[in-house]
Amino acid sequence: MEQKLERMKELTAKLSEAAKVYYQGSQEIMSNLEYDRLYDELCGLERETGTILSGSPTQKVGYEVLGELPKEAHPAAMLSLDKTKEVAALEEWLGDQAGLLSWKLDGLTIVLTYEGGILTKAVTRGNGEIGEVITSNARVFENVPLKIGFGGTLVLRGEAVIKYSDFERMNQEIEEEEARYKNPRNLCSGSVRQLNNEITAKRHVNFMAFGLVQAEGMDFENSRSRQFQWLKSMGFGVVEHQYVTRDNVAEKVAYFAEAVRDYDIPSDGLVLTFEDIAYGESLGRTAKFPRNSIAFKWADELRETSLSYIEWSPSRTGLINPVAVFEPVELEGTTVSRASVHNISIMEGLELGEGDTITVYKANMIIPQIADNLTRSGVKDIPKICPVCGGDTQIRQVNDVKVLYCTNPECQAKKIKSFTLLVSRDALNIDGLSEATLEKFIGAGFIREFADIFHLDRHREAIVSMEGFGQKSYDKLIQAVDAARHTTLVRVVYGLGVTGIGLANARMLCRHFKYDFSAMRIADSESLTETDGIGQVLADAWCSYFAAPGNAETVDRLLEELTLEPVEEEEESGEFKGMTFVITGSVTHFKNRKELQTLIESKGGKAVGSVTGKTTYLINNDVNSASSKNKKARELGIPILSEEDFLKLLEGEH
């Protein structure tokens, strides 16, 4: 008995910590499968011993309120659902009744209240007893009606969710690897509970109704499906549902199981609810579960395989992520051979070592995960040097989680922005090398310097097997890389990423040095400042770039891969021949400053970024601004034009 109680204490502490981390959107320290396994073990011990320890997760529902938002008690406790992974159990539970089978969405449960047709309150589920008031945030959800054609009191429940497609796009905008969300639910949780609803509005949160609590004066003839139809007619998004009986519930479960692979909204199972509202409510509830609904969790397809090795993948922040590479197995209709382990803490929990026999599955039938380690040889050989740059590594404790970092500030993985600029549209224009893809390739060691981009064919097999890639994607990428070999010097100069040298300045430099890069790269500061738009700061930045150790050699190796197209400079002509313009501030008569710049250049003028003694005009709609460019123009006696003044100049009125 004593051993069992000790085990219960251990499980309670583990599960409570994992739940806190999961629900409050921090680091992930345990897989869903592992959580369910330990939770079921704890339930069994509680039944066996007749004891429930203080703080047991079996007695709690959802996350604890953080206190950052106003709190409000729910009129009645919002309970979680009992669950099963067996279709036969659903058939038995349904009996002779009809039911509605719907997605169990993986987001944040919200209760909406409407009075007189107006949304007056939105409260999160919280811990089931007390939620957080997020009314202002709900008003900026993508699909929540602010006014409906029903004047009575309406209370409904639903799930706030973020679609996978929106999640992927938004996550790529977060530069810090450890700051990225691990899954759409974490992103949704943080978005819904923002103190500033401007942030919520940018996160594309959707609301899907799954239950009607009250609709004053309405008669739905005791039908759950009629409630859903009515909510749809009021403009609400309603969770997809299928009418089922005991005879066809297995068929409908199979339908959802097939659909989940391409479903854009996160789902971790299904919910079966009695169609007969009164019958369901007459069954009452247990201490934790209502008896009118039951959850169906996907029976994860497990496959046993052998762990080949741990791949350590550095990121731009220095964080080095462990990825398990194992013998390929078929899971949910696709071949998988890799799964993120996230951090050293999870590795230690699984006692994961090369050669171990592991079981793998797809979380929610989508994301490959390690379920268990059957041989548990133990964690060893955590790299002491970074696989990308060879710099020293360091194990750090971040939010109670052990992670590995590269300590070298010059690590290529930390210079992802420079590679991203080089392949961007205005530089080498390599379609298919997104920032995320570059990060993967650099982390895998395929790219260490600029020239390596043109030798990705050396890693064909590894790239083709990468998640999100295949032979077709690889072929398109290699074609784009080969096409980028033929380019212009202006694109190369811009793509080097020298501080302050934008596209316009790159063009000015090339023109000034008559497209002789050999002369340009060794030019001194004085020669450089003779170029229109290049002041002392930019000249110093250019000289510093080529003086820095290794940069000249890196550029030489890049140039060996490229064929620079010859440029025939046209004799400048037009109304603005010999004039140099600087554009600053916002524009109203043109789509953007780029359009205005193009017009100036088409008339024989030059548009540069800095005000110097060679500047003819500064264009700024706020002619009286105290900006640094306006100040410099006044000091040098350079006229400041508004757009209207510029247009008059164009028409010959000046």
Q: Six-digit token pair at 431?
A: 């379609």
**Active-site annotation holder among 104, 163, 629, 632:** 104
Tokens 């790159």, located at residue: 506
Burial class, 654, CB count within 10 angstroms (exposed 0-12 / middle 13-18 / buried 19+): exposed
Long-range Cβ contacts of 368-371 (<8 Å, 24+ apart)? 368/331, 368/336, 368/338, 368/339, 369/31, 369/32, 369/33, 369/339, 370/31, 370/324, 370/339, 370/341, 371/31, 371/33, 371/34, 371/300, 371/302
- Report d(CA 366, CA 375) in Å as an integer: 26
Distance between CA atoms of residues 168 and 111, nearest Å? 27
- Whole-angstrom Cα distance, residue 592 to residue 547? 36
Annotate 577-607 with b (16+ C-beta within 10 A) or e (fewer): eebbbbbbbebeeeeeeeebbeebbeebbbb
Sheet (strand 267-274) strand order: 83-84, 293-297, 267-274, 99-105, 241-244
What does the alpha-carbon distance between residue 59 and residue 43 come to, in Å, rounded to a whole number? 10
163 is catalytic: no
Contact (Cβ atoms closer than 8 angstroms) between residue 184 and residue 161: yes
Three-class secondary structure of residue 421 per DSSP? helix
Q: How far apart are the first and last CA of the chain?
A: 97
What are the φ/ψ torsions at residue 111 (nearest 5 degrees)? -110, 120
Residue ranges in 395-502 assigned as alpha helix (H): 416-422, 435-443, 460-464, 471-483, 489-495
CB 482 within 8 A of CB 476: no
- What SS3 class is residue 521? helix
8 Å CB contact between 109 and 124: yes
3-state SS, 503-516, equals HHHHHHHHHHCCCC
8 Å CB contact between 371 and 361? yes
Three-class SS state of 1? coil
- Residues involved in catalysis: 104
